[in-house]
Structure 1
Amino acid sequence: MTTHNAIFVLFCGGEITLTNEDYAPSSLQSEGYIHACTATQVEVVYQRFYANLDSVKVAVIDPRRVNAKLVFEAPSEPMDAHTGFPHIYGKLNLDAVVDIVDYQLFTHQEITPDILDVLAHYRFDRLPVEGTLYKSTWRADNELGDSTPVGTAMMGMYCSALKSVSCFHRLTHDEVWHFYQGDAFNLYLLYPDGTSQTIVMGTDFSKGQQIQCRIPAGVWQAGELAPGGQYALFGCTMAPGFTGDCFEAADHDALKQSYPEMAAVCNRLAINNHETKMPAGFAS
């Protein structure tokens, strides 16, 4: 059996990162291969081996980029699965790992080759606090008096299968959003006067979609794919540029009280673990 959709390896802590060397767990020595699974098998593997462990993560792997022999075959122990499990007969080269996601955020959806191609090309990081897939693409050398760059640019990816969204936050400077490719997505704006607005970013101009919009400083903002979408590529530009100090995440309970008509969106796009600030020194 062969597949071009993503396969997955579950692990704990920092056993796999996007920057370390090839992955060679103990099973490679003891059994001759690395245990992997498909999207429909992740839950079975988690419940069998990881349910009582902390900091469980899921490595997203593009099987087309795996250098070692990849075979789908029966597991070494009986498992409740309808098909064979992917076994990697050799070290896992880390350029085949295109994302790492916390198990609690894993959606158990198939990740298709077109999404894997984007992930492999851009090698996104995960934005602290929000968890959005992003990549910094420009930071001006010139700085203002407080060491803030005069401008910055980044690109990001919303992806339903990888639960990449923007959670509610506000910035101290204006931000310009750009639509690049993929499916339409919604930007939710909550203004200081208590009003709200939804802007649909995309290229269907007959439906009023936009390819660029400005979000004023101090406006609460969040974003996600429009229903039915799989992924979207976007960019954000700021002048003055982005630093961690200009970011403040919302307390979503307080936000719901101020914007009751947006309560469902606030619940869906709440900040993970109620964090409100970027880590010290981030993007500084």
Structure 2
Amino acid sequence: MNQNDANYWISHLGLEPHPEGGFFKRSFESTEELNEQSRKLYTSIYFLLRAGDVSHFHRLQSDELWYFHAGSSMSVHIIHQDGRYEEAKLGLNIDKGEVPQVLVPKHSIFGSSLAEDKSFSLVGCMVAPGFVYEDFELFTQQQLLEEYPQHEEIISKLAYKTIPKF
């Protein structure tokens, strides 16, 4: 195995399957908590998508900052609260519109895919205030199409038809 292989990173970082798709492992969390909530100030994970994987559309109640680490660039697909769609390219090829960091604002619906369907992409994601599963919502295609019919093409690619049991 070498660093150009997704299995190298999955094995060496101890990544596990994520309910939204792809693989992850919590890497850091704040030692400080928000007093009123007993919630971590921030949490951070490694997140990896392989060719053919997607991160299905979901929503968090906190901001999430994405950092590119290795592999191919990744597209982060965001449906903002006002219904506007944005595709942010996470990677190091600045001349082609990629950026090494992407902010997904809280309450946005978002998912991700490889910008080119080859190889893999390894990124880091930091959530502040820290991630808790109670703030994590997955969506079906039907749910999203009722509210955002203008985004049918990307919804059909990144939303579950039915949400699997985890």
- Distance in 1 separating the partners of 2:109 and 2:65: 14
Equivalent AA in structure 1 for residue 156 of structure 2? N
Residue aligning to 2:21:
131
Is residue 242 from structure 1 mapped to residue 110 from structure 2 by the alignment?
no
Residue aligning to 2:116:
227
Q: Is the 8 A contact 1:133 1:164 kept in 2?
A: no
The change in CA–CA distance for 1:259 and 1:219 in structure 2 (over 3 A counts) is same
| Greater share of strand | 2
Residue aligning to 2:160:
271
Is residue 116 from structure 1 mapped to residue 7 from structure 2 by the alignment?
yes
- How far apart are 1:272 and its partner, in Å? 6.8
Structure 1 segments of 4+ aligned residues over 6 angstroms from their partners: none
Choose the corresponding residue for 2:89, options 168, 185, 200: 200
User: Which sections of structure 2, spanning at least 5 residues, go unmatched?
Assistant: none
Is residue 154 from structure 1 mapped to residue 45 from structure 2 by the alignment?
yes
- Distance in 1 separating the partners of 2:80 and 2:164: 21
Q: Is the 8 A contact 2:22 2:50 kept in 1?
A: no
- Distance in 2 separating the partners of 1:249 and 1:138: 24
How many percent of aligned residue pairs carry the same amino acid?
A: 27
- How far apart are 1:132 and its partner, in Å? 2.2
CA RMSD between the two structures: 2.3
User: Which sections of structure 1, spanning at least 5 residues, go unmatched?
Assistant: 1-61, 63-111, 280-284
Secondary structure in 2 aligned to 1:274? Answer: coil
- How far apart are 1:113 and its partner, in Å? 7.0
TM-score (norm 1): 0.53
Pairs aligned (count): 165
- How far apart are 1:253 and its partner, in Å? 1.1
- How far apart are 1:212 and its partner, in Å? 0.3
- Distance in 2 separating the partners of 1:251 and 1:229: 26
Which structure 2 residues correspond to residues 1-284 of structure 1 after superposition, within 5 A? 114-128=5-19, 130-144=20-34, 145-160=36-51, 163-271=52-160, 273-274=162-163
TM-score (norm 2): 0.88
Equivalent AA in structure 1 for residue 27 of structure 2? T
RCO greater where, 1 or 2, for CA within 8 Å and sep 6 or more? Answer: 2
- How far apart are 1:115 and its partner, in Å? 2.6
